[in-house]
Amino acid sequence: MPLTSDQLAEVAAQRDASQPTLRATVPALEALLYQPMPVLDHGFVRVIDYMGDDGAVVQAARVSYGRGTRRVSEDAGLIRYLMRHRHSTPFEMCEIKFHVKLPIFVARQWIRHRMANVNEYSARYSILDREFYIPAPEHLAAQSSTNRQGRGEVLQGQEAAAVLDMLRADATLTYDHYAHMLNETPDGQPADPARQGLARELARMNLTLNTYTQWYWKADLHNLLGFLSLRADSHAQYEIRAYADAMLDAVRAWVPLTFQAFQDYRMGAVTLSAGMLAVVRRMLAGEPVDQPGSNLSKREWTELMETLGR
């Protein structure tokens, strides 16, 4: 676990202090609150705060004076209707805040999701930890020959060992140079009094992209689901998917009705183009259809056949 004993004590102290509130709380999410869910080799995601629950979604949809919830089955039906028809604003009434520790190259993908509030650890003011992401052997794969954005076969034997050695050696070397250029002891004194030391904001440019950074990331439920639909998808890069999977666990605990609707109508659903739908209709009518006669590109045809399990 990447937290120090002092950090773990701070988490425990926060969990020990409870406060009364009139606002909606969710026991299953309270159980996760503040606790780091480990991700990759040194990373984590932890829920820092949240606002609302499934009830807040139906309350906003019904514009109620009170909680607005009725029977669970009615609330579930309404949430499923909203999700199915992309009536998204009621989901924006819920918010969640995460603390995330992640490699810089994952942060670069993640930050493209602009509908969120982010505050990143400042490497201008502070010194980054000596922690680098080194993939587990089963995630050390070759470039895919069929998908320019994907991975192929897992590297084996000598080649895998050599790659791991290079990743470790490069990260360690650049971090050693970073520490040397900073010229600071852990208590902020010059390591070598004869040198001035380079500014933190400049020394950091030498670090490798697998160095870990941290941020607080807050989003509303609608935009969080948008993020998860792209990043928990099987086509997403494994490293960001590992974070999305941990966040999905938090969503399941927080808003179980919304989570189920999301699974059914977003994660487990597919979109068919007009051309694909025409092919499905012809197939259902018993007509033999092949790719050349389908008006679909080879790629679209392959995607459709994979979707249909043919």
Ligand X SMILES: Cc1cc2nc3c(=O)[nH]c(=O)nc-3n(C[C@H](O)[C@H](O)[C@H](O)COP(=O)(O)OP(=O)(O)OC[C@H]3O[C@@H](n4cnc5c(N)ncnc54)[C@H](O)[C@@H]3O)c2cc1C
Active site residues: 231
Selected from 113, 252, 266, 282, the binder of ligand X by CB under 6 A is 113
Mark residues 230-249: x for contact with ligand X by CB under 6 A, - for none: x-------------------
258 binds ligand X (CB under 6 A): no
Q: Sign of dihedral through CA atoms 78, 221, 7, 102?
A: positive
Whether 231 contacts 240, CB under 8 Å: yes
Minimum CB distance to ligand X smaller for 9 or for 115: 115
| Cross-strand pairs, 99 | 46, 216
For 62, which DSSP code? H
Minimum CB separation of residue 35 from ligand X in Å reads: 26
How many angstroms from the chain centroid is the CA of residue 42?
15
Under rule CB under 6 A, residue 114 binds ligand X: yes
Q: In what order do the strands lie in the sheet with 212-220?
A: 37-39, 43-51, 95-103, 212-220, 117-120
Q: How far is the CB of 115 from ligand X (least distance, A)?
A: 4
Task: Pick the closer one to ligand X by CB: 100 or 171.
Answer: 100
Applying CB under 6 A, which part among 23-31, 58-66, 111-119, 275-283 lies near ligand X?
111-119
Stretch that binds ligand X, among 93-101, 170-178, 222-230, 281-289 (CB under 6 A): 222-230
Nearer to ligand X, 80 or 113 (CB): 113
Measured at CB, which residue is nearest to ligand X? 114
Shortest Å distance, C-beta 230 to ligand X: 4
- The stretch among 14-22, 69-77, 109-117, 291-299 that binds ligand X (CB under 6 A) is 109-117
Distance CA 295, CA 276 (A): 9
Give the nearest distance from C-beta 271 to ligand X in angstroms: 14
Binding residue count for ligand X, defined by CB under 6 A: 7
CB of 73 or CB of 271, closer to ligand X: 271
SS3 label, residue 217: strand
* Nearer to ligand X among residue 23 and residue 86 (C-beta): 86
Least Å distance, CB 236 to ligand X, is 6
With binding defined as CB under 6 A, does residue 80 bind ligand X?
A: no
**SS3 for 74-127, per residue?**
HHHHHHHHHHHCCCCHHHHHCEEEEEEEEEHHHHHHHCCCCCCEEEECCCCCCC
Closest approach of Cβ 269 to ligand X, in Å?
16
223 contributes a contact to ligand X by CB under 6 A: yes
DSSP 242: H
Q: Which is nearer to ligand X, 19 or 234 (CB)?
A: 234
Residue type, 87: H
Q: Is 91 in the site for ligand X (CB under 6 A)?
A: no
Q: Which stretch binds ligand X (CB under 6 A): 5-13, 82-90, 113-121, 195-203?
A: 113-121
Residues 250, 96: contact at Cβ < 8 Å? yes
Helices (H), ranges, the chain: 5-16, 27-30, 54-62, 72-84, 104-110, 157-182, 200-203, 221-231, 238-254, 256-262, 274-284, 298-308
CA torsion 246-248-250-254 (nearest 10°) is: 180
Q: Which two tokens stand for residue 134?
A: 């080194």
Binding region for ligand X (CB under 6 A): 112-115, 223, 226, 230
